[in-house]
Structure 1
């Protein structure tokens, strides 16, 4: 029994031909059916050249186990979340490698109500079952049929904005040649039907499995500049870009400046608390002072969660939170089956800008000044654990609070930082913020990076 290395903590992804192929996808389909025991499963795919064959192999495994398959075709991961919940079926699977290299693919799995399937909730059992490759096939095979939930999905998205109060806006949208374009086109049609004065300026819009403009990953600085330049060139009100399966969105203001996801969490928290006074808001531990400040100012309850979608979704359900946000641009919504969406966030921002009669840079600049941060910085080190111990030894004695929810977070009167290691490579990730002191931010960032570089 050989180990399947494509299984990660929260999903499945691997290099094609060695870690993932159609035969492995078939076994995963059989194993999913054996472990989860669904009756119907919805499946969809991103634009990658191998996604259709991986999907069909996975679906064949399901059908051989007696499970009916509902295929929604090319879509974003959030459309699987929506369809699974909306159709009231047993589970869903998205075939995607998101922003991984072009020779990768993978699967994101959910169960009933779009609850995540991670190591703690069945993924490890699916891995072991697929590795064992010993299945009890059904006497009556399942069937595969095509379904379309896009109409209901688009209606759900538009429900997040107050149509009558939306102000005219020009928005640069960078689909990255991924799966976002069809949804944007459908939204555009719906906007025109409802007389919503939003104009899209489209770039890299056609889905293309060769990714002629690079794998869509707006966290890359070179991709950020491309979108920002187009915002300025078209004198747009803001810019938006997505990763390949559009479960994350990234924003630019009208100056073409990329806005760190951390500050968007605060904006969305405010937007939800305006409509849901006293609600709970979930945040991750990497950067948090700005979020906590906004939540408390607006009468909400800020609750910290470990980084990662499975943890966020679990604590959101437990606390009945209306919204959860990670600085990595994953945003989760109670009314979206507690799942993440790359479309809902920008709609909420547009709605908030209209309500406030302001622009994005005005809202965000105040928060960036109040809690400046250099954004997440990655450093390669020889031994991540040793490097983290060295940083902790330097600063812990002077700290006023320590938190080990995710890596180590040390807080001081005027600044704080979180340092954690990657699960997949010899890299540590540094996040740091101060209370309105950009000079202190840079000084402390340089001081910590010097220690990390000494352990490279």
Structure 2
């Protein structure tokens, strides 16, 4: 078999047909079992029309390797993470394309303990074995076990993150994007209701539908945000929440339909944890940092910076026992959730935080935005990323008060700073700028850097 293009550094994504099909999925199942030495593997899938067949092909490969397949059925990626540890499995695979285009699908995989799998600890070996097809002889005993009831234990774990007694009457709009979120959210909402939470949920685009009649569920895109924003306003909700296709990311909207940028969500969730557990460690990425660092310092916590990307954040969290880690891309990680990301836990924490403060999300956010205005991530398509970064560095580094190369180039000038980094997957440069209380300075520096980069 020719080289498999669907293997990325930490997951699998490919165009259906030539890059990912049933035969390739079967090979991945066989290779995963053999490389991981697996006897029990959790298997979940999203709502895409091809996901059930691809999951079935993965299961065949696992079964031929003698594996007990713990089948979650339709579920979110974070349910695979949870079940892998909860069921003491040797690994987990969720067949999902998340927010990728309709002609794509993929897989997210973890090893024992729900730890990520990178090239150095298994992904490269799985790819090589799937390509060669040099599998060990098939063995008997492999079979499928229905593990869908694991959702009950998953919901119980999530309920441990929220103090129901602190919740006040509140109307929250939730947008499942016709992805996998709907049934899982219903189980969480039912648990909240039974616990006496006075929260009224309004559901839109809720039922799973792999044709995605409202568009691919990716609320990070500007063009997709009005679906939630308009519904929040129409329903008179106090907050809006929207998920992507496999709901490992969630996005927030205030009562006026205003989108809450991811860097401020990290700051708010850091506050939510430190208000309960002062002194804890908080992990953040290096793109936009000041709002998070300020609240962490104010509440007596310790801010720890990590490279962007789930594998790096998860490893830093495991190494430091940090209670929470967040990326401005809307991935949020939790020590008491196997240091894995979840899109449902942030919803619970944000609702509780707003209830505790007794103020609107918009009001809470306005203080952070005024103190630390930011540009948001601005992407530039360039042919030679390294050359552009070198040119910017030569121009700006001599004037900087501080520099950091945790991920890309970060330079600080006292009243403002920027982070410039190359995309790992596309010919893009990603720029983030923030300032201390001066939105005009952000706009000025963005125009200045844009001119240099585009030149």
TM-score by length of 2: 0.98
2:132 paired with 1:132: yes
Distance 1:298 1:137 in 2: 57
Cross-structure match for 1:154? 155
**Which deviations, in whole Å up to 9, do the C-alpha atoms of 1:215-240 show, x marking residues without a partner?**
00001111112211111121110000
Question: Is contact 1:43–1:94 with CA below 8 Å preserved after alignment?
Answer: yes
2:398 paired with 1:418: no
CA shift, 1:9, in A, is 0.9
Cross-structure match for 1:23? 23
Cross-structure match for 1:303? 304
CA shift, 1:187, in A, is 2.0
Question: Is contact 1:176–1:216 with CA below 8 Å preserved after alignment?
Answer: yes
CA shift, 1:92, in A, is 0.5
Distance 2:240 2:391 in 1: 40
CA shift, 1:117, in A, is 1.0
Alignment of 1:337-352 (within 5 A): 337-352=338-353
Alignment of 1:266-281 (within 5 A): 266-281=267-282
Distance 2:294 2:132 in 1: 50
CA shift, 1:424, in A, is 2.1
Distance 2:120 2:237 in 1: 44
Cross-structure match for 2:452? 451
For structure 2, the 5+ residue unaligned runs are: none
Alignment of 1:116-265 (within 5 A): 116-147=116-147, 148-265=149-266
CA shift, 1:294, in A, is 0.8
Secondary structure at 2:308 match in 1: coil
For structure 1, the 5+ residue unaligned runs are: none
**Which deviations, in whole Å up to 9, do the C-alpha atoms of 1:18-45 show, x marking residues without a partner?**
1100100111111111111111001000
Question: Is contact 1:216–1:242 with CA below 8 Å preserved after alignment?
Answer: yes
Distance 2:120 2:362 in 1: 41
CA shift, 1:403, in A, is 1.4
CA shift, 1:372, in A, is 0.4
Secondary structure at 1:290 match in 2: helix
Question: Is contact 1:66–1:137 with CA below 8 Å preserved after alignment?
Answer: no
Q: RMSD of the alignment, in Å?
A: 1.1
Distance 1:222 1:139 in 2: 50
Distance 1:406 1:196 in 2: 41
TM-score by length of 1: 0.98
CA shift, 1:141, in A, is 3.6
CA shift, 1:400, in A, is 1.3
Distance 2:382 2:144 in 1: 48
CA shift, 1:382, in A, is 2.7
Cross-structure match for 2:384? 383
- The runs of at least 4 consecutive aligned structure 1 residues that moved more than 6 Å come to none
Cross-structure match for 1:50? 50
